[in-house]
Chain A
Amino acid sequence: MKKVSVQCRNIRLSYGSTEVLKDVNLDIQPGEFFALLGPSGSGKSTLLRLIAGFNRASSGQLLVDGADISGQAPWQRNIGMVFQSYALWPHMTVWDNVAFGLVERKVDRATLKARVGAALELVGLQDYGARRPNQLSGGQQQRVALARTIVIEPKVLLLDEPLSNLDKTLRVQMRQELLALQRRLGITTLFVTHDQEEAMTTADRMAVLDQGVVQQVGAPAALYDEPVNTFVAQFVGTMNLLPGRVRERRGDGLTLAVEGVGDLALPLRADAPPGETLMLSFRPHSLRMGTPGAEQVSSCIALAGTVEAREFLGEVTRYRVRVGTHSLAVDHPHRAGGAAFPVGDVVSLALEPSQARLLPR
């Protein structure tokens, strides 16, 4: 089957006076597994429903395979959608649910039987055709919903928080299955989620949305390592942010005055003029924690603080360390028998400059 691209061009959408999507531009490649990530109310589901045809843009274009489909009704689009609640019809058996779209397409009986059977087999439910949806577990319902959608061989597959109703273990298993299935079928897939782990583990690329605006688009690692603003930085993973005023700029770096901490000389480039506030950002695991007085690597940015709290997470222990007026998250790798820093301890923190970024406030 031909893989198609999906493009959003300057899409705007308002409910009354509230603008839900503000000038959305996206280019989704043929066959790509693309995640839309954002908090609730960010507009990600609205965008998905717009692609399915349940919403209408106030302006802008929606191109699928290069053709504008904005004017098409949902039933004309052949874009499959899996709903968050699965939306399996309780008055039909699993088989009838899956066959539904083929009946609408007036597929002949033999083909219908073959294709429904194949779809059920694909999701491992070939023996469940006679059951009713409410006799299935959550994971099985999810698979039926998936089978019902892919059986029509849609041009694009839309998944609206498909894993949010499953428990954690099942969620991990299903997302792997989902990815494997997508790879096998090669359908261009859009996946809405508010769970950054879900997005990062499955998507080829993802877009982070907030308040109807696409904040950043890119591969998961790129968004994680190089967020363009504090929203993306904090939404994708955990990020420490230290606000500071630019005191002076030198050729290869600048001095940042961080309130309650003091001046930090940073070998980082920034275009901001002196006086402007920037955010120094770094991940919890890029800080190295040690006892004060221990040897420091001179190229590192050094901070001193007091342990406020700690959470043992297994692979690491996450400490909250008070540095001046700020509280930082620090992940310290855990090893059996390794010493822990007790609450109240004064510690030193070292940050490699390459792991830190300056973000606009």
Chain B
Amino acid sequence: MRPGVWLAGAAVLAFLLLFLVLPVGRVFITAFLDADGGFTLGHIGTFFDQGLMRESFFNSLYVAVMSALWAALIAVPLAYFTVRFDFRGALLIQTLGVLPLIMPPFVGAVALQLIFGRSGSINLLLGEHLGFTLPIMEGLNGVVFVAAIHYFPFILMNLTVALRNIDGAMEEAALNLGCKGWRLFWRVIFPLAAPGFVAGASLVFVKVFDDLGTPLVMGQTNLLAPQAYLRITQVGLEDPLGYVISVIMIVFSIAAMALSARALKGRDYATLQKGGASIQRRRLTPAAAVAAYAWIGLVLLLVLSPHVGVLLLSFAQVWSYSPLPDALTLAHYATVFQDSTGMIQNTLLYCGLAAGLDVVLGVTIAYLMLRTTLPARQWLDWIATASLAVPGIVLAIGYLRLYKGMVIPGTELLFTGTWVMIMLAYAVRRLPYALRSCVAALQQVHVSLEEAAESVGATQLRTIRRVVVPLMAGGILAGFVTSFITAAVELSATILLTSAESQAPMSYGIYLYMQSVAGRGPGAALGVLAIVVVAVGTYISHRVVERTGQRFAAQAPVGVTVGGKA
């Protein structure tokens, strides 16, 4: 093996150790260390002795489970409709699948408060005309409501893919043996797609369990993530309970992911074979069409309400105790452009650098993993992917603790006080997304293409540059964009790591604005800008992925399986 391979592996490993493993390890150690530096379970005991902590723990569980449940209720019918029926609504559902994700959930929370809150539009109208109100946004259920409409696309997308991959013959065999309708769905279709469902649902669970922004904005602090945040910011970096909470959050994230991995293990039901057809599409009967459109319409209304709410809010002069804003204005946008151009620039800078770093790491890890015999290369993938289980706030706490007091050489600047910290946190948190993109892209490049280059005289490095990377370009760009847009709406690490307002990115700015009633207008305007950035990015990555897919499809000769398994 060439020294370059070792060097690349060592560099990646160093990065992962410094900015993921060691900070998180530090959090774990601190949670189990007593004042004298000995091992103790005392902090864990303290945690469960405190009523507030116990309550937060069970609240977090409740919110995460209920959110996954409600998200499933929204997503399962939609996924089934798209795959099963031949109707125009399918495109609508695709759109539904992206819309919520392009908006940070805590922004949506503010808008939903205005529409579904106690004195929101819906309840004002209900109270006035029908004499009752719906406590949708009250308490923990409010968080569940916001989370469910924000995160259901994870289930929708995973389940749709899983359903699409079912070999049509699987269903036809059941029909042939006399099975139809609901029984067909429950006995054959859903079990075959279940791994996709479990993957999506566990993702929702983890996301909600770790979410900091939404509960904070909604004033629900008796949950784990807000408690960790409050402990660290108010009691101080030395308070062990903040670390115990962090450990619990990681353990639950890992448990949820392990569960999903277990569910998927040996059950790769992607049964569609080359040249096989997916399950057959049908025409909807008129009655079914009405029902389907009604459901889609209802979900669309729900899903769009945060967007509409934020948009209205960004143009509203005053919007309080009325179903709709009293008057419209552009003043908030003017404020934002006057005060917050720095934030927009910061977001572009941090997220651009982080996403760049991610694809470089992603390509390197993918290549080491799939194309070299570097010992323990799989570990790079596992470590990088493990960051999915690390909540942003935990990573931030780890950074603050591990690099406490460290000064950048040659300056007086504290390492933890620079924006580099924020950028690195983004890079580590979004690395799994970019990595998966890069791995998928490299798997599509058949080894023989590289061997051909080497046989005509290109060195390994030249082959990577002239053959591998160009062929991976689509996947790399998709990975970049995914990292970029998800980092742009990241709040939990940002809140803790932003040490000066001049360093604040947009997500932090929105959060700050939303703290005061007067700031809601500009906050919403900034939110609209963030949504536009994310929407454009999402669209670009979607197009790129689609186009690359077509290119590869056109290239693959008949009989040659594209992918590593051939």
Residue-wise, chain B 206-219 has the 8 Å CB interface mask toward A (1 for contact) of: 00000000000000
The stretch from B93-101, B172-180, B330-338 touching chain A is: B172-180
Is there an interface contact between B172 and A52, defined as CB atoms closer than 8 Å?
yes
Q: In the complex, how many angstroms separate the beta carbon of A178 from the nearest chain B beta carbon?
A: 18
Q: In the complex, how many angstroms separate the beta carbon of B186 from the nearest chain A beta carbon?
A: 12
Is there an interface contact between A91 and B267, defined as CB atoms closer than 8 Å?
yes
Given contacts A90-B192, A91-B267, contact A54 B175 (CB under 8 A): yes
Residue-wise, chain A 150-162 has the 8 Å CB interface mask toward B (1 for contact) of: 0010000000000
Chain A residues within 8 Å of B178, by CB: 75-76, 78, 101, 104-105, 152
Is B139 interfacial (CB-CB < 8 Å)? Answer: no
Is there an interface contact between A100 and B169, defined as CB atoms closer than 8 Å?
no
Is there an interface contact between A89 and B170, defined as CB atoms closer than 8 Å?
yes
Is there an interface contact between A85 and B177, defined as CB atoms closer than 8 Å?
no
Q: In the complex, how many angstroms separate the beta carbon of B276 from the nearest chain A beta carbon?
A: 6
A150 vs B511: C-alpha distance when bound (angstroms): 65
Is B280 interfacial (CB-CB < 8 Å)? Answer: yes
Is B499 interfacial (CB-CB < 8 Å)? Answer: no
Is there an interface contact between B271 and A90, defined as CB atoms closer than 8 Å?
yes
User: Which residue among B187, B192, B267 has the maximum number of chain A CB atoms within 10 Å of its CB?
Assistant: B187
A74 vs B188: C-alpha distance when bound (angstroms): 16
Name A134's closest neighbour in chain B (CB-CB).
B266
Is B191 interfacial (CB-CB < 8 Å)? Answer: yes
Given contacts A75-B180, A101-B178, contact A87 B192 (CB under 8 A): no
Is A83 interfacial (CB-CB < 8 Å)? Answer: yes
Chain B residues within 8 Å of A100, by CB: 174, 177, 179, 187
A54 vs B273: C-alpha distance when bound (angstroms): 19
Given contacts A83-B169, A89-B170, contact A52 B176 (CB under 8 A): yes
Chain A residues within 8 Å of B271, by CB: 90
Is there an interface contact between A85 and B273, defined as CB atoms closer than 8 Å?
yes
Given contacts A54-B280, A104-B183, contact A87 B172 (CB under 8 A): yes
A127 vs B297: C-alpha distance when bound (angstroms): 52
Given contacts A74-B175, A90-B192, A91-B269, contact A85 B180 (CB under 8 A): no
Q: How many residues of B contact A (CB 8 A)?
A: 24
Chain A residues within 8 Å of B187, by CB: 100
Residue-wise, chain A 170-205 has the 8 Å CB interface mask toward B (1 for contact) of: 000000000000000000000000000000000000
Is A4 interfacial (CB-CB < 8 Å)? Answer: no
A86 vs B271: C-alpha distance when bound (angstroms): 11
Chain B residues within 8 Å of A78, by CB: 178
A22 vs B169: C-alpha distance when bound (angstroms): 25
A86 vs B175: C-alpha distance when bound (angstroms): 14
A52 vs B173: C-alpha distance when bound (angstroms): 10
Name A102's closest neighbour in chain B (CB-CB).
B177
A85 vs B272: C-alpha distance when bound (angstroms): 10
Name B270's closest neighbour in chain A (CB-CB).
A90
A80 vs B169: C-alpha distance when bound (angstroms): 13
Q: In the complex, how many angstroms separate the beta carbon of B197 from the nearest chain A beta carbon?
A: 13
A195 vs B170: C-alpha distance when bound (angstroms): 25
Is A73 interfacial (CB-CB < 8 Å)? Answer: yes
Is A163 interfacial (CB-CB < 8 Å)? Answer: no
A52 vs B176: C-alpha distance when bound (angstroms): 7
Q: In the complex, how many angstroms separate the beta carbon of B111 from the nearest chain A beta carbon?
A: 41
Is there an interface contact between B191 and A87, defined as CB atoms closer than 8 Å?
no
Chain B residues within 8 Å of A217, by CB: none
Name B192's closest neighbour in chain A (CB-CB).
A91
Is A84 interfacial (CB-CB < 8 Å)? Answer: yes
Among B176, B180, B273, the residue within 8 A (CB) of A79 is B176
Chain A residues within 8 Å of B273, by CB: 85
Q: How many residues of A contact B (CB 8 A)?
A: 28
Is B167 interfacial (CB-CB < 8 Å)? Answer: yes
Q: In the complex, how many angstroms separate the beta carbon of A73 from the nearest chain B beta carbon?
A: 7
A91 vs B195: C-alpha distance when bound (angstroms): 11
Chain B residues within 8 Å of A79, by CB: 176
Is B440 interfacial (CB-CB < 8 Å)? Answer: no
Chain A residues within 8 Å of B280, by CB: 54
User: Which residue among A86, A91, A148 has the maximum number of chain B CB atoms within 10 Å of its CB?
Assistant: A91
Chain A residues within 8 Å of B191, by CB: 89, 91-92
Q: In the complex, how many angstroms separate the beta carbon of B192 from the nearest chain A beta carbon?
A: 6
Name A84's closest neighbour in chain B (CB-CB).
B169
Is B194 interfacial (CB-CB < 8 Å)? Answer: yes
A152 vs B187: C-alpha distance when bound (angstroms): 18
Chain A residues within 8 Å of B276, by CB: 85
Q: In the complex, how many angstroms separate the beta carbon of B278 from the nearest chain A beta carbon?
A: 13
Name B184's closest neighbour in chain A (CB-CB).
A75
A91 vs B162: C-alpha distance when bound (angstroms): 14
Chain B residues within 8 Å of A53, by CB: 175-176
Is there an interface contact between B192 and A81, defined as CB atoms closer than 8 Å?
no
Q: In the complex, how many angstroms separate the beta carbon of B190 from the nearest chain A beta carbon?
A: 10
Chain B residues within 8 Å of A89, by CB: 170, 173-174, 188, 191-192
Is there an interface contact between A54 and B194, defined as CB atoms closer than 8 Å?
no
Chain A residues within 8 Å of B177, by CB: 75, 80, 100-101, 104, 148-149, 152
Q: In the complex, how many angstroms separate the beta carbon of B394 from the nearest chain A beta carbon?
A: 36
20 contacts between A and B (CB under 8 A): A53-B176, A74-B176, A76-B178, A81-B172, A81-B176, A84-B169, A85-B167, A85-B169, A87-B169, A87-B173, A89-B188, A89-B192, A91-B191, A91-B192, A91-B267, A92-B191, A100-B179, A104-B179, A148-B173, A152-B177
Interface residues in chain A, defined as those with a beta carbon under 8 Å from any beta carbon in chain B: 52-54, 73-76, 78-81, 83-92, 100-101, 104-105, 148-149, 152
- Extra contacts, 18 of them, besides A81-B172, A87-B173 (Cβ < 8 A), are A75-B178, A75-B180, A80-B176, A80-B177, A81-B176, A83-B173, A85-B167, A85-B273, A87-B167, A89-B173, A89-B191, A90-B271, A91-B192, A100-B177, A101-B177, A104-B178, A148-B177, A149-B177
